[in-house]
Structure 1
Amino acid sequence: MKRSSQGLTTVVMLVILLTALALQSTRFHERPYRQDEAWSVDAAETYNLVGVVKWVSNDIHVPLHGIVLDIWIALVGTSSQAVRWGAFLMTSLTLALVYRLGADLFSRRHGVYAALLLVASDFFMFFSGEARPYPLLALLAALMMWLYVRWLRATPPPKSPSPYTGRGTLDSLQRTIHQNDNVVGAQHVVPLQSLIFILTGTALLYTHFYGAYLLFALGLFSFVIVHERRRLVWTIGAFVMMGVLFIPWLPALYRQITEIYPAGRDTIWGPSRYDFAYIYNDVTTLGGATAVLLLLSVVVFVARAYRTPPPSPLPVYGEGELRAAMTSITRSQDPLPEGERLRGRATGTRRASPLRFIFIAATLLIPIAVAYIVAGGERPFTARNFIVIMPSFALMLAYGLGYLPRIIGIAVLTVYATVAIFGYTPQAITEDYPAITADMQRTLHGGEPLLIDMGPHIWHYVPFAYYFDAGGVLTEQTFALTAHWPLALQRLQVTPLQTLDSDNLIDETLHLIEDAPEFTVVGWFTHPYRDELAARLRDEYAETRRTAYGSILVSEFERIPQTAPQFIFGEMFDLLDMRMDTQAEACSTIDVQTWWRAAQSPDDNYSIGVYLLDESGVVRTQADGAPGNILTLQWEADRAYPDRRSLQLPCEIGRYEIKLALYNPVIVENLPIVAADGEDAGTLISLGFVDVTAP
C-alpha cells in the first residue's frame, strides 16, 4: 500500500511539473522582454562576470542573478524563449521543493496540494518565468526552508542527557529524541550539511534583499522555539556565517542606499503602493476563494491545536509514543501510509505539532512585516518582491485542504485550480519594445531625429537602447529627452544614449531638430511634452501619425508644406500636398497622406474619402473619416492639418488608381472641387496610380 501511494504521488507530481512547464512555455511564447528584463539581458550579453557585478553595484540590487544570467546567456543566447527556459527550470525545482517541504512537515498530500496551488497562481507563474531575480529568489527560499527543517533535525544533541536540565517540554523532548537516535533515526550535523545550509542562505542574500527578510524570520523563529543553549548557538551561528559571507557586498550596499538611491528608487509611486490590499490583490489569484482557504487553514489549526493534548515532559517513551511526541517542526519516519496517518488519533497515529503551522505562518508573515517596516523608511516595495513568501503561502493554503476528507479536498482544489488556470489573464504588455523597434525600422528615415520621452529616470530608457541597438535603429540622432544623469546612474547604461544639456525639453528639442523635414517622438502617453511641442511648432510642423503601443505612443512630425493650394474643396478646404507610394506588394497596405488648410471656418463636419479603383473603375477598397481625425467644425482658419489613410491593397497584381473626395457624411454629398487654376475638377480627384506587384 505504501509503495503504491508513493508511486501515485510521484506520477501526480510529474504531471504538475509538466503542466507548469507547458503553461509557462505557452504564456511566454513570443512575449517580449519587460523593461527590467531587457535591462538585465542587455547587461548580461554585454559584460563579463566582473562587469555584471560592477553594473549591478550601480543599481539597488545584489549580483547573483546577474552572474547566473550571464552564464546562461553565454550558453543559450539572448532570445526571450531560450533565456526564460532557465527560469522555467527554476520554477520546476521550486515546485518539487515545496512538495518535499510540505511532505516533511505535514504529509505528501499537503505537498502535492501546495505545488498545485503554486501552478494555479498567476502571480507566481508569471514572475517565476521572467529573466529577473524572482525565479531564483523563489527557488532559494523554498530550498532554504527545507534545509532549515533538516538542519533542526541534525543540530548537535545537548551535552547533558538529563531531561530535567532544560527549560520546558520542548527541550525535554528534543533531548529524548537524541537519546533514542536508534529508534527515531534523528541525524547529527555533518560538515557538508552545514556548508550547504550556510551557502544556500548566503546565496539568498546575494539574490535579493527580500531574501534577508526570510532569513530574519528563520532566525527569529529559532530564538523563540529553540531553548536549549547549545542547539540555539549552533543554529544562530550558521546565520551569523551567512552575514559574514555577505560582508564583501556591504561597501556597495552602503553606496547604493546613500549615494545612488538615498530616498528610495520608486518614491514616485506614492503611498498606495504600501497598502496591504495592494499586496494581497497582486499576490493572490482568486482573492475571495483564497481568503476562504486561508480562513479554513486557521480554523483547522485552532481545532487541531485545541484537541491535541500537550506532550509529557517525562523522557520515558515507547517507540510509538516517541513518534507521536515529535516537536518543533521535525517529522519522524512514520511507517504508516498517508491515508491512515491523516485519520487521526483513533488509529494510533501521531498528530502534527502546532509548531509546524506556526513555522509556516512565521515565514509568511514576518517577511511582510519587515518589508513594511523598511518601506516606512521611504524605500517602497513592489508586489513581485513577495515571491519570496510564495512557498509559505502555498503551504498555508494547503494546510486546511490537506486535513479535509480526501474526496472533498481534491474536489475543492480541482475547482480552484481549474478556475484559476483557465481564467489566467496575462499581464498587459505596457512596453512593447520589439513592436516599437519594428515600427522604427519601417518608418524612420536616415538622419531623422528620434526623441525618446520617458521622463527623468534612466531605467525607462535602457530597454530602448537595447532594442534599438539590436534592431539597427540607434543612431547619432537618437536622444533621451532628459538632462544628463548623475555619473552613478550613467554607469547603469549598457548601451549609452545621448542626453540633453538642460531640463528645458522644448528649447532643447528645437535645437536638435533644427530644420529637419521630419522627426519622431517616442514616449509615455501621459507626458504633456508631445502636446506642448506640437503647440510650440504649430506653424512649422504637424503631427502626421500617432500610434499606441500599450502605454507608449509613437508620433511622427513633419514640416508643413509651404506651397500654394493644388485644389479647393467647397471654397473651404485647401489641399496643399499629397504623398503616396507608387508601387507596393500585393495584399499589403499603402499609406496616402494629404495636407489640408481651412481657407475659412467650416460650416459643418465633413469627411474625407480615399478610394482604390481597379482598371474597370470599381472601388476595391476605401478609407473614410474626419480629415486629420479632427472634426472640421473644430478646425482653425489658416492652420494646416495632415491626414494619413491606409488602404488595403488587393492580392491581384495590376495597376490601380487612387481617388479622393470630401463629403458631408449626413447627406452623403461630395463637395465641389476647383483646381488651382480655377478650372472645375468635379467632385472626385485622382491622386495617381499604384502598381501592385507580386510579393
Structure 2
Amino acid sequence: MVLMKTRSLFFITALVLFAAYWLFHDLTRTSLWADEGWTIAATNSPNPITVIRDWVYEDVHPPLFFVGLSLWRVFTGDTIFAMRVYSVFITLIGVAFMYRLARLMFGERAGWVAALLFSLHDLVLVLTQEVRHYPQQQTLTILALYTYWRFWRKPTRRRGVLFIIAGSALLYSHYWGGFVLLALGLHAFITRYQHLRPYLLANLGILLTYSVWLPAIYHQITLERPGGLPHALENSWVVYKTLAYQLMGVPELFWMLLAFVGIAGTFTCIQPRKWLPTPSTLACALVVILTVGLSLLINTRYPTLSFRSLAVIIPPSILLIAHTLQQFRRQEFTVLVVFIIIQSITTTSAQPLARPPWPNIANFISLHSAHDGVLLEMNTDDLPMLYYLEHTDAPIDILSSETLRLHQPDQYATDLADFLQKHDGVWLIKFGYFEYDIRPEILAQGFVQSAPTIDYGRYADGRPIELYRYDRIPEDIIVQFGTALALTRQEVTLHDDVLTINLLWSPIATPQRNYTISTFLLTEQGLLALPNKDNYPFEGRSPTINWQAEQYYFDSHTFNIANLPSGHYRVG
C-alpha cells in the first residue's frame, strides 16, 4: 500500500512538473486580446461586489473566476505574467486530478496517460495562456467528474457535499457546466435508478446554491444578449470540422476513433457482452454526447456555439482515449504512447487568436509623448490598449472616445471637447474603418494633423490599424531659423529613463531639400553628455521635402539616459 501511494505521488509530481514546463514556456509571448482586456478591467477592483455588479452581471458569464482573479491580483500585481499564472496553476490542479480521476475509473496506466494527454492538448495550452476563465471551466469539469464518481461508488454524506461544492463551482465558472451536471444526473438515473435519493439530494443542493444567480442569468439572456452572442459560430459542416480538430486534435479522425472505441467496456471476441459501455465509460460518453448535442440544438434558436464553451468535453474525451490505450498490451501500449507524444508535440490543432500590435503602438506613443492626449477609436478593443498605455507610465491622458460615444452619447460631445481642450498634442488610434469619423471634430477644436498616418497593417479580418498625430495650432513662434523654418512648440519630458523631445515645426517657405534635425544633451560645463543625434524629422517619417509652407509638422527625438549621472543638463 505504501509503495503504491509513493508511486502514485511520483507520477503526479512528474506529470505536474512536465505540464508546468509546457504551460509556463512562452507564457507572455502573445499580447492581450479584447476578451483578456475585458477580464483585466473587470477584475481591477478587489471588491467582489464591484466586480459582479459593474462587470460580470452586465456580461454573459458567471462570476467565480473573475472574483478569484481580482483577489489573486491583490497579492501578485497585475503584470500579464502574474495574471496568466493564475490560469496555469488552475490547469496544473486539473492535471493532478485528471490522473487521479482516470486512475480511479480505469486504472494506473490510464491515469498517467490521461494526465499526459491533457497537458499536451493544444487547446488546453492556448486557453491556459490567456487571462480568461476557460482553464477553470475544464479543471472544475474534472473535479465534478471526480467527486461525482467517488459519490457514485459510495454515496456518503461527505462525498455528496464535495460533489455539491465541485458542481456548484463549475456552474459558477461557466454555464456549459450545466450540461456536464445534466449528463451526470442522467448517468445516475440510468445506473442507480433503484437508489436515486442520494443523487437527487446532491443535485438539489447544487440547484439551491446556484439559485441566487438565476436572476442574473435571466438578465444576461433577455437584456444583455437577447439575440445571442455576437461571435457565435453557425451550424455548418465547415464549423463542425473546425470544432473537431480544435477539440480533439489532429488527425481528428484518429482521436475521435480512439474516444469512440473507449466507450466500449473491454475488447474481447470471446465475450461480446463486455463490449457494452461500463458505468465509467458511460459517464464520460454522456458528458460528451449531451454537451455537443444540446449545444448544437440551442445554437439553432439562440446563437451561442463556441469552441471555448465546448472545451468542457476535452476532459471526458481524454478519459475515453486513455481507456482505449490502457487496454493494449505493454509493447503496443508503449509504441502508441510514444507516437502520441511525438504527434502532440510536432503538430498543432489550435493556435492563439491573432493579436493586434497593441504593445508596439503603446510603446511608440510612450516614447514620443510629452503630456499628450490619446483617443481610442477601437470599441471593445480599447481595453487591452488601455492596459498597455497605462503600464507605460508615460505622461499621457487617455479617452476611449468610441466607447463613450456608443454607451454615453449624451456626454460624448462635451467630454471630447473638454479632453481636447486640456492638450496641445493628441494621438488617435483607429482600429477598423471610420464608420463614424472623429477626425473633423478634432480639427474643429483647433488642431491639425501634424504627421503622416502611421499604418500598422491589417488585422486578420482585414480591419486597418492606424495611428494619427494632431497638434493644436500655436499662436507664437519660439525661434526662426533664417528664412527656412520656424520652431513653434517644444516640449521635453522624462519617463522610464527616456528623455523625449517633441518639436512642432512650420516652414516659412516650402523646403527645397531634406533637412536633418540635430539634437544633443549638454552638461553644465557645456560638454556633450551623450553623442548628438542627426535625424530626419520624426524618425524619417516626415521628410522636409514633403512639407508645405505655413503648415505644421510634428517631430520627436529620444535619448536613453539610464547611464547618465544625476545632475543638470541642457537640451539643444
Amino acid at match of 1:480: S
Please state whether the residue corresponding to 2:428 is helix, strand or coil: strand
In 1, Cα distance between the equivalents of 2:338 and 2:158?
Answer: 43
Please state whether the residue corresponding to 2:271 is helix, strand or coil: coil
In 2, Cα distance between the equivalents of 1:652 and 1:237?
Answer: 69
Structure 2 match to 1:17: 16
Please state whether the residue corresponding to 1:541 is helix, strand or coil: strand
1:240 equivalenced with 2:164 (yes/no): no
Q: Identify which of 254, 260, 268 aligns with 1:298.
A: 260
Structure 2 match to 1:190: 156
1:481 equivalenced with 2:480 (yes/no): no
- Paired residues for 1:77-476 under 5 Å: 77-154=77-154, 189-223=155-189, 225-226=190-191, 229-264=193-228, 266-267=229-230, 271=234, 275-283=239-247, 287-298=249-260, 307=269, 309=271, 353=277, 356-404=280-328, 405-420=332-347, 428-430=354-356, 432=358, 441-446=366-371, 448-455=372-379, 460-462=381-383
Contact 1:592 1:645 in 2 (8 A): yes
Shift of 1:482: 3.9
Shift of 1:205: 1.3
- After alignment, is 85-94 or 462-471 more displaced? 462-471
In 2, Cα distance between the equivalents of 1:195 and 1:214?
Answer: 18
Shift of 1:306: 7.1
Change (3 A) 1:511 1:37: closer
Structure 2 match to 1:556: 469
Amino acid at match of 1:555: Y
In 2, Cα distance between the equivalents of 1:538 and 1:45?
Answer: 34
Structure 2 match to 1:51: 50
Shift of 1:268: 5.7
Contact 1:9 1:112 in 2 (8 A): no
Contact 2:450 2:471 in 1 (8 A): yes
Structure 2 match to 1:495: none
> Sequence identity, in percent?
19
Amino acid at match of 1:90: I
Q: Deviations over 1:585-631 (max 9, x none)?
A: 9x9797786757798999xxx9776688999xx99875699975699
Shift of 1:483: 4.8
In 1, Cα distance between the equivalents of 2:493 and 2:205?
Answer: 72
Please state whether the residue corresponding to 1:140 is helix, strand or coil: helix
Contact 1:521 1:530 in 2 (8 A): no
In 2, Cα distance between the equivalents of 1:557 and 1:121?
Answer: 48
In 1, Cα distance between the equivalents of 2:540 and 2:396?
Answer: 34
Q: Deviations over 1:526-585 (max 9, x none)?
A: 5555685499679951152637499665432124678999688xxxxx766587789999
Q: Deviations over 1:207-248 (max 9, x none)?
A: 21111121122223444x32x533245434432332232211
Amino acid at match of 1:199: I
In 1, Cα distance between the equivalents of 2:245 and 2:473?
Answer: 50
Please state whether the residue corresponding to 2:376 is helix, strand or coil: strand
Amino acid at match of 1:128: T
Change (3 A) 1:298 1:279: closer
Please state whether the residue corresponding to 2:426 is helix, strand or coil: strand
Please state whether the residue corresponding to 1:27 is helix, strand or coil: coil
Change (3 A) 1:627 1:20: closer
Contact 1:484 1:500 in 2 (8 A): yes
Change (3 A) 1:139 1:439: same
In 2, Cα distance between the equivalents of 1:196 and 1:296?
Answer: 31
Structure 1 match to 2:462: none
- Paired residues for 1:524-543 under 5 Å: 524-527=431-434, 533=440, 541-543=448-450
Contact 1:517 1:559 in 2 (8 A): yes
In 2, Cα distance between the equivalents of 1:567 and 1:292?
Answer: 77
Shift of 1:94: 0.5
In 2, Cα distance between the equivalents of 1:238 and 1:584?
Answer: 62
Please state whether the residue corresponding to 1:267 is helix, strand or coil: coil
Shift of 1:192: 1.0
Shift of 1:18: 0.8
- After alignment, is 388-397 or 78-87 more displaced? 78-87
Please state whether the residue corresponding to 2:289 is helix, strand or coil: helix
Amino acid at match of 1:65: F
Structure 2 match to 1:66: 66
Please state whether the residue corresponding to 1:209 is helix, strand or coil: coil
In 2, Cα distance between the equivalents of 1:256 and 1:150?
Answer: 35
1:518 equivalenced with 2:518 (yes/no): no
- After alignment, is 365-374 or 68-77 more displaced? 68-77
Amino acid at match of 1:293: W
Change (3 A) 1:639 1:152: farther
Contact 1:623 1:645 in 2 (8 A): no
In 2, Cα distance between the equivalents of 1:376 and 1:630?
Answer: 57
Shift of 1:98: 1.3
- Paired residues for 1:563-578 under 5 Å: none
Shift of 1:95: 0.8
Please state whether the residue corresponding to 1:46 is helix, strand or coil: coil
Amino acid at match of 1:219: G
TM-score (norm 2): 0.75
TM-score (norm 1): 0.63
Q: Deviations over 1:413-470 (max 9, x none)?
A: 231233259x99665543746x666555554444x44322122x5xx44556666667
Shift of 1:145: 1.1
